[in-house]
A and B are shown apart, each in its own frame.
Chain A
Amino acid sequence: MSSSAGAQGAPIKSTGLHIGEPAPGVKKVDPIIVADNITRTFGGLTAVQVEHLEIPRGAITALIGPNGAGKTTLFNLLTGFDKPDTGEWTFDGQGISGIPAFKVARKGQVRTFQLTKALGLLTVLDNMKLGAKGQSGESLARALFPWFWSKQEKQIEERAIELLTRFKLDAKKDDYAASLSGGQRKLLEMARALMSEPSLVMLDEPMAGVNPALTQSLLDHILDLKTQGMTVLFVEHDMHMVRHIADWVVVMAEGRVVAEGDPHEVMANPAVIDAYLGSHHDEDLGNLDTGVMNAIKELADDDADDDKR
């Protein structure tokens, strides 16, 4: 298991993450999350039905799948924002099923949201500071007496500015987050999540709506997280990005994990093509959004590019 990222050229991928043949639910050498038998239904609809899933530590895992596959729902379940009908899972070897979201975050598993949640009427800097863990000034009793927390506050501010500089948001630090552009908000949300020094970062569509000019720097940030020893799990529809940075890909469709594996191999898996083209329910092709078709085309292009190289 080796990992590092080259700033220019193709990033170096982590390999040898799994034990045995890559298949849905395959065992990992060093899993950070192990989930068993998770189901979540909404009325008659089964949004998530995952028998077994392991997320490898210290690697970048992509969670892909067509719209409505249950990716966000799975995120919600794993982070305590939603309660499953059945299922158990561990994080870092500890059972965390059923514990509330804020406790999950405190254990070092921090997420971002598909619909960005920048705190609009807080300044960018305050947004960042809010992310820091273990602030003594956050207790009501001590908040009244600044000498308890002003020193810590300074350190947090330094760290926040450092991160903002890395994300090229430092010039905006005193603006209200509401004044940021959509892409900047995505960056802010990610930077804010990093303020808590997590061991697992879960990003729900970090690239959606981000201007292509920013995409590259965002990719670098994510790769950077890996070099710093964090584990990344992200949901993404942009297949370029998945291929570019993911060490491992988990494919979901209709609530199930239908395939797992190395990004190149998994794209060739017939189950994945099925999932994306929706061969099970061809009667409602109208539902199939064009984004998915584009994704497939992109894949084909990518492979063609690879072949030329």
Chain B
Amino acid sequence: MIDWILLLSNAAQEIISPTTAAYALAALGLAIHFGFTGLLNFGQAGFMMLGAYGFAIATLTFEWPVWAAMLTGVVASIVFALILGIPTLRLRADYLAIVTIAAAEIVRLLFTTNTFEPVTGSANGLQGYKGGFEALNPIPPGTYGFGPWVYNEYDWWVRIFGWSLVAIAAFVTWRLFKSPWGRVIKGIREDEDAVRALGKNVYFYKMQSLILGGVFGALAGMIFILPRAVVPSNYQTSLTFFIYAILLLGGAATVFGPIIGSVIFWVLLSFFSGFVARAVEVGWLPFLSNVQAGQLRFILVGIAIMLIVIYRPQGIFGNKKELAFVK
């Protein structure tokens, strides 16, 4: 029989899981790009990848301390944003979409190729970079928690660290979009020529937005690899699409939408995947194999994206009037 308690408790774990935090932060970055500025960044996976690899390579190859390793990831994402932004931010919105998606693939191929294997670990990725981060853990060894949320000291440390970053990023975003800076950014989303005619350096603001959201993506990439290894195949374009699904779910032009969107997304996905997998095991779905059950989540995410965009473009929390799609 299906162990419903287990399914529910697995789903409940997703509420505070570091993966949820990572996706929330990446989606927040994308909200800055897409929701507030109108930049069609389809390369958020690339920013995450640079954050993750920047951190891991700085730790493993250069043996730098944690703060320097994190800084490396952040700097890498800033450089990436500059490389992407300089040619494309002057162009039409759809060019940025194509260039960002292409650039994220370039990054992934560069980390996957055997050519740089000594540094990147090629298709196998990297591991063993967590020592420094572990050493910073102030929590004494042991297991803590209640209900479904019982973890050891490292797992708690990762969660606390991840969600703190999310909280800080959300606060920064909220402050920014209540400021005149945020007003310019939203104006650019609506019509950049009009903003230009008012004497604002649109190009510069777009670049700032691209960098800021990209840095959030890089930090998200670091949170993402703390509970697992860095593997290049995790950073396919579908990662970016998942983040778009989260963003659209929560509301593209909101600060808390991406965070709550991420929680809802992962809780539902975990529950659903768990349910289908168990259902296949106990023979409720004879036409599905276990592997096929695993693919179902992609199909669902795809359909969810379509339905949200068509029927509720403002997301769950967005204001119906302020549905933030670039026209």
B214 to chain A: closest CB distance in Å?
A: 14
| Interface set, chain A 73-121, CB cutoff 8 A to B | 79, 81, 100-103, 105-106, 110-113, 117-121
A133 to B200, CA, bound (A): 9
Chain B residue contacts of A192, Cβ below 8 A: 198
Chain B residue contacts of A120, Cβ below 8 A: 190
B320 to chain A: closest CB distance in Å?
A: 11
Interface string of B118-144 (1 = CB under 8 A from A): 000000000000000000000000000
A111 to B324, CA, bound (A): 26
Chain B residue contacts of A139, Cβ below 8 A: 181
With A117-B193, A119-B186, A176-B322 as contacts: A137 and B199 at CB distance below 8 Å: no
With A102-B202, A122-B187, A130-B187 as contacts: A111 and B179 at CB distance below 8 Å: no
Chain A residue contacts of B176, Cβ below 8 A: 140, 143-144
B217 at the interface (CB under 8 A from A): no
**B195: nearest residue on chain A (CB-CB)?**
A130
Chain A residue contacts of B179, Cβ below 8 A: 137, 143-144, 146, 149
B175/A144 in contact, CB under 8 A: yes
A105 to B196, CA, bound (A): 8
- Interface core residue of B172, B176, B201 (most chain A CB under 10 Å): B201
A126 at the interface (CB under 8 A from B): yes
B108 to chain A: closest CB distance in Å?
A: 30
A112 to B193, CA, bound (A): 10
A196 at the interface (CB under 8 A from B): yes
**Besides the known contacts A110-B199, A126-B183, 14 further A-B residue pairs in the complex with CB atoms under 8 A apart:** A105-B197, A112-B197, A117-B197, A119-B191, A119-B194, A122-B187, A130-B195, A131-B198, A140-B208, A140-B212, A144-B175, A144-B176, A149-B179, A176-B321
B180 at the interface (CB under 8 A from A): yes
A106 to B198, CA, bound (A): 8
B180/A149 in contact, CB under 8 A: yes
A224 to chain B: closest CB distance in Å?
A: 20
| Interface set, chain B 308-327, CB cutoff 8 A to A | 321-322, 324
B323 to chain A: closest CB distance in Å?
A: 8
A130/B322 in contact, CB under 8 A: no
- Interface core residue of B179, B187, B199, B212 (most chain A CB under 10 Å): B199
A143/B181 in contact, CB under 8 A: yes
B105 to chain A: closest CB distance in Å?
A: 29
A79/B197 in contact, CB under 8 A: yes
A133/B199 in contact, CB under 8 A: yes
- Interface core residue of B181, B197, B322, B324 (most chain A CB under 10 Å): B197
A81 to B193, CA, bound (A): 8
A41 at the interface (CB under 8 A from B): no
**Which B residues have a C-beta under 8 Å from some C-beta of A?**
172, 175-176, 178-184, 186-187, 189-191, 193-202, 208, 212, 321-322, 324
A205 to chain B: closest CB distance in Å?
A: 15
Chain A residue contacts of B186, Cβ below 8 A: 119, 121-122, 126
A238 at the interface (CB under 8 A from B): no
Chain A residue contacts of B190, Cβ below 8 A: 119-122
**B327: nearest residue on chain A (CB-CB)?**
A120
A138/B197 in contact, CB under 8 A: no
A195 to B183, CA, bound (A): 15
Chain A residue contacts of B187, Cβ below 8 A: 119, 122, 126-127, 130
**A129: nearest residue on chain B (CB-CB)?**
B183
A138/B180 in contact, CB under 8 A: yes
B174 to chain A: closest CB distance in Å?
A: 10
Instruction: Choose from A103, A105, A122, A144 the contact partner of B198 (Cβ within 8 Å).
Output: A105
A193 at the interface (CB under 8 A from B): yes
Chain A residue contacts of B197, Cβ below 8 A: 79, 81, 101, 105, 110-113, 117, 193
A143 to chain B: closest CB distance in Å?
A: 4
A106 to B208, CA, bound (A): 20
Chain B residue contacts of A111, Cβ below 8 A: 197
Chain B residue contacts of A220, Cβ below 8 A: none
A106 to B195, CA, bound (A): 12
Chain B residue contacts of A269, Cβ below 8 A: none
Chain B residue contacts of A119, Cβ below 8 A: 186-187, 190-191, 194-195
A153 to B182, CA, bound (A): 13
Chain A residue contacts of B196, Cβ below 8 A: 81, 100-102, 105
A126 to chain B: closest CB distance in Å?
A: 6
A129/B172 in contact, CB under 8 A: no
**B198: nearest residue on chain A (CB-CB)?**
A131
A4 at the interface (CB under 8 A from B): no
A196/B199 in contact, CB under 8 A: yes
**B176: nearest residue on chain A (CB-CB)?**
A143
B36 to chain A: closest CB distance in Å?
A: 11
**A101: nearest residue on chain B (CB-CB)?**
B196
A137/B180 in contact, CB under 8 A: yes
With A113-B193, A140-B208 as contacts: A102 and B200 at CB distance below 8 Å: yes
B182/A143 in contact, CB under 8 A: yes
A129/B193 in contact, CB under 8 A: no
**A81: nearest residue on chain B (CB-CB)?**
B193
A200 to B194, CA, bound (A): 17
B184/A130 in contact, CB under 8 A: yes
B183/A130 in contact, CB under 8 A: yes
A176 to B319, CA, bound (A): 12
Q: Please list 13 pairs of residues, one from A and one from B, whose beta carbons are closer than 8 Å in the complex, sorted by A's number.
A: A101-B196, A105-B197, A117-B194, A119-B190, A121-B190, A126-B187, A127-B187, A130-B187, A130-B198, A140-B212, A146-B178, A178-B321, A192-B198
A145 to chain B: closest CB distance in Å?
A: 8
A279 at the interface (CB under 8 A from B): no
A129 to B199, CA, bound (A): 13
B153 to chain A: closest CB distance in Å?
A: 33
B199/A138 in contact, CB under 8 A: no
Nearest 8 pairs of A and B residues by beta carbon: A143-B181, A137-B180, A105-B199, A117-B194, A143-B179, A119-B190, A106-B199, A117-B191
A165 at the interface (CB under 8 A from B): no
